[in-house]
Structure formats: C-alpha cells, structure tokens
C-alpha cells in the first residue's frame, strides 16, 4: 500500500504537493476562492478515485468472466443538495453531498450483462468506502 504525503508548496495560498509512492501531483483551489487553480481541487481527486476504481473493477470482472467489455467511461460530478430534497438520505436537515456517476460500457453486451456490470460497479472498493462508515483518526506529530 502506498503512503500519501501532502505538503503546502508555497506556490499560492492553498496549493499543495501530493506524493503517492513514486507519483507526484498538485492540488489547489480555484481562483474564485483564492487559489491559483494550478491543480485539481481535493474533491476532484475523490471523484477521480471513485471513477478509476469503478473502471478498473469492471474491467477486472469482465476479463475474469470473459465478458467482451471493450471500454469503460465514467463521468462523475458532485453537488450539495438540501437534505429535504433527498428522500433516500438519512440526514433530514441541512445539506447532503450528492455524487453522480454515469457509466458508459462499450462492447457487445446484452441487457442482463449490462445490469450485472452495474451491480459490480457498486461493489468497487472506493464505492464501498464512500458508502460505508468512515472514521478519520487525526493526530499531531
């Protein structure tokens, strides 16, 4: 498992360098909130993680089952909605974070296979993490 390190980089109010094993990235905020927009926002990485996991999970499953899945495209977005406008949410007051994931499957797939792949998409590890109980334990060093 890779270790993730995030360090403020001095290239603006919010910009940070991200190291994940041998990989390097930058995150920032948009100009509207005082950033330099020199990298994706933190929530963008969250959506990207869900999309990447979805695609990889579907490709692995299809390969293992011999399903002719040629390509997976995942389009994601997020927004805040009023809890009152979310009939299937447990939160009843304030706002709820809503993520939308649209999956395009390319290949010679019948309706039953497409439905099974949708079920598998909801079993990707990041999806399970986001929809399960999460504890973030924080300490100062």
Domain region containing 19: 4-33
Residue 49 sits in the same domain as residue 23: no
What pLDDT is stored for residue 12 in this prediction? 87
SS (H, E, C) 75-112: EEEEEEEEHHHCCCCCCCCCEEEEEEEEEEEEECCCHH
As a whole number of Å, the CA-based R_g of the chain is 18
Residue 54 sits in the same domain as residue 22: no
pLDDT in tens, 57-115: 999 999 999 999 999 999 999 999 999 999 998 888 999 999 999 999 999 999 999 99
Residue 74 sits in the same domain as residue 115: yes
Residue 105: CATH number of its domain: 3.30.300.20
Residue 10, in any domain of the structure: yes
Find, among 49, 55, 59, 47, the residue nearest to 73 by Cα: 55
Quote the tokens at residue 48. Answer: 């990207």
Residue 9, in any domain of the structure: yes
Is the pLDDT at 1 greater than 80, yes or no?
A: no
What pLDDT is stored for residue 22 in this prediction? 93
Residue 141, in any domain of the structure: no
Task: Compute the average pLDDT of residues 33-54.
Answer: 96
Residue 66 sits in the same domain as residue 104: yes
Residue 50 sits in the same domain as residue 16: no
Residue 74 sits in the same domain as residue 123: yes
Domain count across the chain: 2
Strand-pair partners of 5: 19
pLDDT in tens, 72-81: 999 999 999 9
Residue 138, in any domain of the structure: no
Residue 72 sits in the same domain as residue 14: no
Task: Write the DSSP string, 10-44.
Answer: SSSSS-EEEEETTEEEEE---GGGT----S--HHH
- pTM for this entry: 0.91
What pLDDT is stored for residue 41 in this prediction? 96
Residue 46 sits in the same domain as residue 89: yes
What pLDDT is stored for residue 92 in this prediction? 87
Please indicate whether residue 77 or residue 2 has the higher confidence score (pLDDT): 77
């Amino acid at each position: 498992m890779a270790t993730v390190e995030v360090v403020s980089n001095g290239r603006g109010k919010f910009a940070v360098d991200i190291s994940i094993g041998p990989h390097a990235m930058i995150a920032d905020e948009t100009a509207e909130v005082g950033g330099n927009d020199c990298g994706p926002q933190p929530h963008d990485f969250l959506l990207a993680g869900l999309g990447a996991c979805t695609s990889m999970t579907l490709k692995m499953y299809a390969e293992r089952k011999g399903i002719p899945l040629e390509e997976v495209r995942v389009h994601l977005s997020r927004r805040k909605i009023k809890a009152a406008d979310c009939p299937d949410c447990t939160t009843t007051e304030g706002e709820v974070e809503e993520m939308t994931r649209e999956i395009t499957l390319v290949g010679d797939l019948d309706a039953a296979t497409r439905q099974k792949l949708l079920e598998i998409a909801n079993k990707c590890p990041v999806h399970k993490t986001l929809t399960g109980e999460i504890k973030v334990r924080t300490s100062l060093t």
